[in-house]
């Protein structure tokens, strides 16, 4: 594209630099001729006849466009040869010059061009007659006469070619002048043929003047042949150019390439000074306004035509032409004249019934040339092909964009992200690492299940918006999967990546309001860097996904990849089939951890915990096989197994006059099962356990997820008489005030706060606040992680009622629990119907 100013071009007014010397040559040659001849003027009737023939022969039969100018091919040599033979020399000069003046005035050329052509004709005719005097007298129509006339006409043609070349070189540069010289070869050949025909005509006329009738008929036929040839030549050239243009446009891929392939060829095809492509802004595409000009090798981003013309075409949907021959909207003529536009054709570019732009040509080259109806038809054909190619290119752009971008968030998708990471790891910059930060949106499934997928989509769109706004400008932000967003960029180290991940997570955390519902947006973040964690994009993406999965186990955390995560995942994948077999074969066990009153140390219940001793892998961590159960659809069976075992032992203890309450942990997904309350009721009836002796523990993130999803199940369980407990309270973003709307009976303070009470005043304050407010709300408080006497004393001081932890006992299998009962219970401190009291705390 060329947008800078070019050096100033000379205007046609500067043609006097060539016109003046030509006029001087004409005067000198004519004066010299007048001095050497006896008969200067005369034979006026014949001169008038030959003048008429010269005027008729001066009309161009063929027109050749060179740059901005039109070169016409005529048959003026025929009457000129007759004039040179029959008329006095100065009469020839006068007739030829006058004929040139009449012809060019009739063609409505500008004054400088008229005077240049008249001076050129006068100089050439004067020189021809002067040269011819060297061969006088002409005797008959023999070879000597042929040679004399041929030399004289050659002098006229030489003057004409040199003058035209000089003036075009002066006005438009040496390249245009060289083009004139190349084009003149065929013109000189035609002129030579015309001279030969003229000499034959001369011999025929010498034989008898009646031959003029036949010659006139022959001349008319010859003119028609020339006209027919010109039409055929123009049609052939138009079809060839149209075919080349269509092929070039169809082969160009993008809209910018289409403009490059289209405009120059359209300008040449339509023989116009300007060709312009206009595409208004549409969707992701900005406005395009490009112009090809005859003297510029590239495209301009400026246009001379006023924008109102293009707006008329866009609104009306029809072609607009303003010119001498064809005009469809005369009201635009004054405006175009004001902008220096001689004629213009603007056609719409359509996509179906919609106008997507316009294609225009302005200023037909040559003062006497104008756009015709046939030109408009050809131009509309070109526009139709261009519109199809343009729409195809935009379709390809859209398909390519859709293939690389997420349709919901408009961010790059995993395919595009993989390609970007692949390119990034190829370039090893010293002191830099390619960091991948994977943000996993928490609780999106609950939003989809409770509020519908439309609400979930809004959450994803908002997270994408926030992440794109907070991420550094050098980062590529994309959507890696359903609820996962990836940020990749170059950083100094893995530590810098972890720091940035934590900052971004905090910046995008905020409340999100849906009508009357407010959700907290939070994410778990996985981090992996190149080259520390892999050298290929696929491996890096897999490992950052592993890190994000590990981060989800601790809500709101940031996890850096380590090889241990990969081995753990592989282990989980291998456990999927083993877990189903373990449930079938009864390989899982239930362990029990006592819950003790802190004031008088009485045993009030046990928490029932599933344990799995794998025959190959050994002890499997509960979070591992619970995660496997959730992802393989076995969570229901696992929950039912723990419930059955807990209620069975609770019944046995009751029969043994030790009525202990049991607590069972529930996964958040269990609360979405509408059949779960019915299962609990059936098991309570089956094992004859009072509902109040069963406590179901749900994690804070599961019961306070910002939605109403768990409420129906919780209410059903409450109506059964089952006690409900909020486990790990304090690790999420909820408040005690939110508990007021939940049908819960108990709050369990997370072990991280309890264990820090003795050393961290902040943890002590948190536990104190939880205990105080919970008691005001009528909720029991259980402190997890009681492991020291100092912690026990602090809990007693703040009024906490119940505790559990290693200070009392670790989780024990049933046989060891029975032994623990016997060893720790104080028989003397047990009255009839009372719970056993611990003898001492080990």
Statement: residue 7 has pLDDT above 50: no
pLDDT for 753: 87
Residues 198-226 have pLDDT tens digits of: 777 777 777 777 777 777 787 677 767 76
Q: pLDDT for 622-635, tens place per residue?
A: 887 887 888 778 88
pLDDT at 616 over 80: no
Distance CA(789)–CA(758), nearest Å, equals 10
Integer distance in angstroms from the first to the last C-alpha of the chain?
Answer: 87
Cα separation, 11 vs 18, in Å, equals 13
- How much is the pLDDT for 12? 64
Residue 4 pLDDT > 60? no
pTM above 0.85, yes or no: no
Tell me, what's the pLDDT at 832?
Answer: 47
In order of 75, 425, 649, 717, the CA distances from 720 in angstroms are 114, 59, 20, 5
Sole residue written with tokens 């123009």: 234
Is pLDDT above 70 for 736? no
What is the Cβ-side half-sphere exposure of residue 285, based on CA atoms within 13 angstroms? 21
Closest to 527 (Cα-Cα) out of 569, 553, 554, 496: 496
752-801 residue pLDDT tens: 889 888 888 888 888 898 888 888 888 889 999 898 889 888 998 899 99
Task: Please give the pLDDT value at position 476.
Answer: 92
pLDDT in tens, 487-526: 999 999 889 999 999 999 888 887 777 666 667 778 889 9
Q: Are the beta carbons of 78 and 198 closer than 8 angstroms? A: yes
Q: Please give the mean pLDDT across all residues of the chain.
A: 79
- For the chain, percent of residues with pLDDT exceeding 70: 82
Query: Exposed e or buried b for every residue in 438-471, given b needs 16+ CB within 10 A?
Result: bbbbbbbbbbbebbeeebbebbbebbbebbbebb
What is the pLDDT at residue 682? Answer: 93
pLDDT band for position 6 (50/70/90)? very low
| pLDDT score of 264 more than 90 | no
CA distance 238 to 235: 5
What's the pLDDT score for residue 842?
40
Q: Which residue has the higher pLDDT, 501 or 151?
A: 501
Say what the pLDDT of residue 657 is: 67
pLDDT band at 8 (very low <50, low <70, confident <90, very high): very low
**Least confident among 21-35, 249-263, 300-314, 598-612:** 249-263
The residue among 136 and 798 whose pLDDT is bigger is: 798
State mean pLDDT over 85-103.
82
Rounded CA separation 121/94 (Å): 10
Between residues 257 and 369, the one the model is more confident about? 369
Helices (H), 271-372: 307-316, 333-338
Residue 298 has pLDDT above 50, yes or no: yes
pLDDT for residue 123: 81
pLDDT digits (tens, 9 = 90+) for 652-695: 887 666 778 999 998 888 887 888 999 999 999 999 899 999 99
Up-side HSE of residue 440: CA atoms within 13 Å toward CB? Answer: 23
pLDDT at 72 over 60: no
Average pLDDT over residues 444-448: 74
Residue 183: predicted pLDDT: 67
Look at residues 306, 95, 66 and name the one whose alpha carbon lies nearest to residue 182: 66
User: For 80-92, what is each residue's pLDDT tens digit?
Assistant: 777 777 788 888 8
């Amino acid at each position: 594209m060329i947008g800078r100013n070019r050096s100033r071009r000379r205007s046609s007014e500067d043609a006097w630099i060539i016109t003046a010397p030509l006029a001087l040559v004409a005067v000198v040659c004519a004066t010299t001729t007048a001095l050497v001849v006896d008969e200067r003027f005369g034979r006026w009737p014949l001169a008038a006849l030959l003048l008429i023939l010269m005027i008729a022969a001066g009309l161009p039969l063929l027109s050749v466009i060179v740059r901005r100018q039109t070169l016409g091919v005529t048959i003026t040599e025929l009457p000129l040869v007759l004039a040179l033979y029959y008329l006095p020399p100065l009469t020839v000069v006068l007739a030829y010059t006058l004929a040139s003046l009449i012809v060019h005035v009739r063609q409505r050329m500008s004054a400088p061009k008229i005077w240049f052509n008249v001076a050129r004709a006068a100089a050439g005719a004067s020189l021809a007659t002067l040269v011819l005097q060297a061969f006088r007298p002409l005797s008959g129509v023999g070879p000597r006469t042929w040679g004399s006339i041929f030399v004289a006409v050659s002098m006229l043609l030489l003057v004409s070619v040199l003058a035209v070349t000089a003036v075009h070189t002066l006005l438009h540069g040496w390249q245009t002048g060289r083009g004139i010289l190349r084009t003149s070869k065929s013109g000189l050949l035609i002129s030579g043929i015309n001279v030969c025909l003229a000499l034959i005509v001369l011999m025929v006329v010498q034989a008898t003047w009646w031959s003029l009738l036949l010659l006139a008929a022959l001349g008319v036929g010859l003119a028609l042949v020339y006209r027919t040839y010109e039409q055929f030549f123009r049609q052939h050239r138009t079809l060839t150019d149209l075919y080349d243009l269509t092929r070039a446009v169809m082969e160009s891929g993008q809209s910018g390439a289409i403009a490059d392939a289209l405009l120059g060829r359209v300008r040449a095809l339509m023989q116009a000074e300007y060709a312009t492509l206009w595409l208004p802004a549409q969707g992701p595409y900005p406005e395009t306004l490009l112009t090809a000009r005859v003297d510029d090798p590239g495209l301009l981003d400026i246009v001379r035509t006023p924008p109102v013309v293009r707006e008329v075409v866009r609104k009306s949907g029809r072609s607009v032409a303003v010119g001498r021959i064809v005009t469809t909207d005369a009201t635009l003529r004054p405006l175009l004249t004001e902008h220096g536009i001689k004629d213009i054709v603007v056609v719409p570019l359509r996509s179906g019934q919609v106008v997507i732009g316009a294609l225009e040509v302005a200023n037909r080259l040559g003062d006497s040339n104008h756009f015709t109806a046939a030109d408009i038809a050809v131009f509309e054909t070109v526009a139709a092909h261009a519109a199809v190619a343009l729409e195809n290119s935009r379709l390809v752009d859209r398909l390519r964009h859709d293939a690389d971008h997420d349709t919901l968030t408009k961010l790059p998708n995993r395919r595009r992200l993989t390609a970007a990471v692949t390119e990034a790891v190829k370039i090893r910059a010293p002191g830099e690492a390619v960091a991948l930060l994977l943000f996993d949106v928490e609780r999106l499934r609950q939003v989809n299940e409770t509020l519908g997928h439309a609400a979930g989509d809004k959450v994803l769109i908002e997270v994408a918006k926030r992440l794109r706004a907070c991420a550094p400008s050098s980062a590529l932000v994309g959507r890696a999967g359903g609820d996962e967003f990836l940020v990749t960029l170059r950083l100094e180290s893995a530590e810098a990546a972890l720091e940035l991940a934590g900052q971004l997570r905090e910046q995008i955390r905020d409340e999100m309001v849906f009508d009357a519902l407010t959700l907290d947006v939070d994410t778990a973040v996985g981090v992996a860097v190149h080259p520390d964690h892999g050298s290929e994009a696929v491996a890096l993406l897999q490992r950052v996904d592993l890190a994000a999965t590990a981060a989800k186990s601790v809500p709101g955390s940031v996890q850096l990849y380590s090889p241990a995560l990969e081995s753990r995942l592989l282990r989980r994948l291998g456990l999927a089939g083993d877990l189903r077999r373990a449930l079938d074969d009864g390989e899982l066990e239930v362990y029990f951890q006592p819950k003790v009153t802190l004031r008088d140390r009485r045993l009030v219940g046990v928490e029932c915990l599933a344990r799995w001793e794998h025959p190959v892998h050994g002890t499997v961590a509960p979070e591992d096989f619970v995660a496997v159960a959730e992802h393989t659809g076995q969570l229901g069976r696992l929950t039912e197994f723990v419930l059955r075992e807990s209620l069975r032992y609770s019944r046995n203890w009751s029969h043994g006059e030790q009525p202990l309450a049991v607590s069972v942990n529930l996964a958040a997904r269990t609360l979405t099962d509408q059949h779960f309350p019915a299962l609990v009721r059936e098991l309570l009836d089956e094992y004859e356990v009072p509902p109040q002796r069963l406590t179901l523990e749900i994690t804070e993130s599961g019961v306070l997820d910002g939605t109403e999803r768990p409420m129906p199940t919780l209410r059903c369980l409450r109506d059964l008489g089952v006690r409900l407990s909020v486990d790990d309270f304090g690790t999420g973003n909820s408040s005690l005030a939110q508990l007021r709307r939940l049908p819960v009976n108990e709050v369990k303070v997370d072990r991280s706060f309890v264990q820090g009470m003795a050393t961290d005043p902040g943890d002590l304050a948190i536990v104190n606040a939880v205990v105080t407010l919970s008691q005001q709300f009528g909720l029991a408080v259980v402190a997890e992680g009681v492991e020291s006497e100092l912690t026990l004393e602090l809990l007693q001081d703040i009024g906490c009622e119940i505790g559990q932890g290693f200070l009392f006992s670790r989780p024990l299998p049933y046989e060891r629990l029975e032994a623990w009962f016997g060893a720790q219970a104080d028989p003397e401190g047990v009255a009839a119907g009372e719970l056993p009291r611990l003898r001492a705390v080990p």
